[in-house]
């Protein structure tokens, strides 16, 4: 109360009178808004910061018009995925050229044009860019790649073996299946042999190109999943791939090099192989279990059995007798609460004693089928990223609620983060870090102005004036928020709003920028308590850091002491002089720095949408085989 009285005593009389006139309901509303966005200004902190020049705002005549209905600005949406259509490969140019060449009895590389007459009625379907690459390459280089004499050559046999092993990369071998024609003596005549081999040549090239395309960029286009997915195109010179394959004798090495080359990708492949060889968990606990002290559940003995099976000497010495005595109990008694809390703390969870999905997932793990899916999805998602993730780099994994700074193959920094809530999801993309802002202003996004501030401003136009926000018009002139008839505006508010630097600023003491169209960045927050929660999806889309000073020092290549000194100097910015990619990623299976795969909940239900897209791609491709 002393603090409150002191604060009230420091307010100007006019502001105090206006505040008291609002009454208790308004005060409660303001308190809620301050929790969400930050609010009043801390006087001692403001004294350290440079003052904005006093600007005399133009006189604004408030106009009272009929209020516009309360609007809403919607965020990105999820799409109905459409797989790449397949087209019939047009061999017209090749067959026309073949008809002008005289007959040659032996099927040699120089006989390619003669053999192309066998493509006249060949129905080969492929993706549009692959179909074009086939026509372009063979028109410019009318020679066999996969055939020598009258049979498939060693290059072809090596390629078929690689394609048949596609499942080791989480790909479907059926997508690349090609049958090598039988021995020459099994075909009736030279013409039939020519026709079979030239068709094999084209099918082989089409499926190899599909393999290269999938390995390098993924089986699906992630940008067709939703507006939250944002990845640059990965252009591939497919005709150039065929040209390279025509001259290399190291087909396996060439094809394997098209896949991501990062240690993370290799760790996921190892996990995929291990999962396929493993047996299913014999103890399966309901993944949606929610059990509080005093409640009962038949799932509890299963969980206690898993705990007892994995105890070490220290844990067993303290809790072994309790587990032995109550291990078959379906009642979650008070005696068992310390056991659960100790297990939660040991596994990095909030030790609240509540047995929920996060506790179950940590102790019981997901089913084998679920883990296989997550690893397969992670392999696909890694193909959307650069093959080499770079060093140094910042990697944010949203389902894990963590951010890491990695350099030289070592994780130098790892911290908890808060990500966007399901209604304001954080996007999946990558960019490059450019700048650190100290004591930042918060430029309020239009979506927050319209969806969350505007309803309050219609009732209380002067709220922003009292709470440390600046309002400017389209010409950059400061306008008192109390002078604006906010009820006139709908989804397009012609004013900019920013929150001035303060301890209550929604961005805290610093932000780390990597400019992108999603207006997402990393920043501090005054809401520190949220980092203690296991599930941390609470922001409007940006990434809040538990250790912002540590991350700022890491990306700037300096010390935390340097960051602290800059913060004391008020509002300023510092450029990042090194190339540091940042991955705002979404992986429900991901290796730690030692290569051990960890599994996480699908906070935005994106895995299901990815699964649907992959199934649609499989169905479309199967129809053409």
What residues contact 175, with CB distance under 8 A and at least 6 apart?
Answer: 166, 207, 210, 211, 214, 219, 618, 621
Using alpha carbons, select from 165, 250, 143 the residue that is nearest to residue 211: 165
Using alpha carbons, select from 137, 115, 131 the residue that is nearest to residue 203: 131
Mean pLDDT calculated for residue range 509-538: 95
Say what the pLDDT of residue 125 is. 95
Query: Over the stretch 200-244, which tens digit does the pLDDT of each residue have?
Result: 999 999 999 999 999 999 999 999 999 999 999 999 999 999 999
Task: Write phi, then psi, for 184 (nearest 5 degrees).
Answer: -55, -35
Instruction: State the number of CA atoms in the 13 A half-sphere of 404 facing the CB.
Output: 18
Alpha carbon 331 to its chain centroid, in Å, reads 40
Look at 181 and 414; give whichever has higher pLDDT. 414
Task: Compute the C-alpha angle 22/24/26, nearest 5°.
Answer: 55
Decide the pairing of beta strands 522-523 and 543-545.
Answer: parallel
Q: Of 59-63, 570-574, 600-604, which range is least confident?
A: 59-63
Asked if residue 189 has pLDDT above 90, the reply is no
Predicted model pTM? 0.81
DSSP string, 273-337: HHHHHSPPPSS---TT--B-TT-B-TTHHHHHHHHHHT--HHHHHHHHHHHHHHTT--B--TTTH
**Distance separating the N- and C-terminal Cα atoms of the chain:** 77
Query: Over the stretch 354-387, which tens digit does the pLDDT of each residue have?
Result: 998 888 888 877 788 899 999 999 999 999 999 9
Say what the pLDDT of residue 111 is. 79
Q: Are 426 and 569 in contact (CB under 8 A)?
A: no
Average pLDDT in the chain: 86
> Hey, which residues are catalytic here?
523, 542
Report how far residue 82's alpha carbon sits from residue 151's, in angstroms, rounded to the nearest whole number.
38
Dihedral angle sign, alpha carbons of residues 565, 570, 574, 580:
positive
Q: Are 499 and 34 in contact (CB under 8 A)?
A: no
Using alpha carbons, select from 584, 537, 543, 585 the residue that is nearest to residue 421: 537
Instruction: State the number of CA atoms in the 13 A half-sphere of 378 facing the CB.
Output: 28
Q: Are 79 and 225 in contact (CB under 8 A)?
A: yes
Mean pLDDT calculated for residue range 330-353: 90
Asked if residue 47 has pLDDT above 60, the reply is no
Strand, helix or coil for residue 416? strand
Q: Are 478 and 62 in contact (CB under 8 A)?
A: no
Residue 182: Cβ within 10 Å count = 11
Say what the pLDDT of residue 45 is. 40
């Amino acid at each position: 109360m002393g603090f409150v009285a002191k604060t009230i005593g420091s307010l100007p009389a006019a502001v105090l009178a206006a505040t008291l006139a609002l009454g208790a309901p308004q005060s409660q509303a303001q308190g809620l808004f301050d929790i969400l966005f930050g609010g009043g200004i801390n006087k001692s902190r403001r004294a350290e910061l440079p003052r904005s020049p006093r600007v005399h705002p133009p006189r604004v005549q408030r106009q009272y018009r009929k209020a516009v209905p309360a609007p809403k600005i919607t965020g990105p949406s999820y799409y109905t995925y459409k797989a790449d259509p397949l087209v019939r490969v047009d061999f017209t140019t090749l067959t026309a050229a073949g008809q002008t060449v005289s007959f040659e009895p032996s099927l040699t590389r120089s006989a390619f044009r003669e053999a192309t007459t066998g493509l006249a009625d060949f129905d080969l379907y492929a993706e549009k860019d692959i179909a074009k690459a086939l026509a372009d390459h063979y028109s410019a280089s009318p020679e066999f790649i996969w055939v020598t004499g009258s049979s498939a050559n060693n290059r072809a046999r090596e390629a078929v073996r690689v394609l048949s092993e596609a499942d080791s990369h989480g790909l479907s071998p059926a997508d690349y299946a090609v049958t090598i024609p039988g021995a020459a003596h099994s075909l009736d005549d030279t013409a039939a042999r020519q026709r079979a081999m030239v068709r094999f040549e084209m099918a082989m090239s089409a499926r190899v190109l599909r393999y290269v395309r999938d390995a390098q960029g993924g089986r699906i286009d992630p940008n067709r999943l939703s507006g939250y997915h944002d990845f640059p195109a990965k252009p591939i010179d497919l005709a150039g791939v065929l040209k390279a394959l025509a001259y290399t004798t190291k087909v396996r090495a060439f094809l394997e090099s098209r896949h991501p080359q990062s240690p993370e990708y290799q760790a996921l492949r190892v996990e995929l192989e291990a999962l396929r060889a493993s047996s299913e968990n014999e103890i399966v606990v309901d993944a949606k279990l929610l059990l509080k002290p005093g409640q009962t559940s038949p799932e509890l003995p299963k969980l206690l059995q898993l705990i007892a099976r994995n105890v070490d000497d220290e844990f067993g010495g303290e809790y072994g007798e309790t587990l032995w005595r109550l291990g078959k109990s379906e009642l979650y008694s008070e005696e068992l609460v310390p056991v659960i809390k100790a297990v939660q703390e040991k596994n990095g969870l909030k030790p609240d004693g509540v047995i929920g999905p996060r506790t179950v997932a940590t102790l019981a793990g997901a089913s084998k089928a679920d883990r296989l899916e997550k690893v397969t999805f992670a392999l696909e998602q890694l193909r959307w990223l650069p093959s080499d993730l770079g060093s140094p780099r910042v990697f944010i994994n949203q389902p894990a609620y963590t951010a890491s700074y990695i350099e030289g193959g070592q994780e130098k920094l790892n911290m908890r983060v808060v990500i966007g809530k399901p209604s304001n999801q954080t996007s999946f993309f990558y960019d490059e870090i450019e700048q650190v802002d100290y004591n930042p202003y918060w430029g309020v996004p239009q979506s927050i102005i319209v969806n969350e501030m505007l309803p309050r401003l219609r009732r209380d136009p002067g709220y922003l004036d009292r709470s440390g926000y600046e309002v400017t018009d389209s010409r950059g002139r400061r306008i008192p928020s109390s002078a604006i008839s906010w009820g006139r505006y709908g989804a397009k508010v012609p004013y900019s709003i920013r929150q001035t630097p303060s301890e209550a600023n929604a961005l805290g003491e610093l932000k780390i920028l990597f400019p992108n169209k999603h207006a997402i960045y990393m920043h501090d927050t005054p809401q520190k308590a949220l980092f203690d929660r296991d599930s941390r999806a609470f922001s409007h889309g940006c990434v809040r850091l538990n250790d912002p000073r540590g991350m700022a020092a890491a990306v700037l290549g300096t010390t935390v002491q340097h960051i602290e000194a800059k913060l004391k100097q008020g509002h300023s910015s510092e450029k990042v002089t090194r190339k540091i990619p940042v991955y705002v990623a979404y992986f429900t299976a991901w290796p730690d720095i030692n290569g051990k795969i960890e599994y996480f909940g699908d906070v935005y239900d994106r895995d299901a949408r990815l699964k649907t897209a992959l199934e649609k791609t499989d169905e479309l491709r199967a129809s053409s085989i």
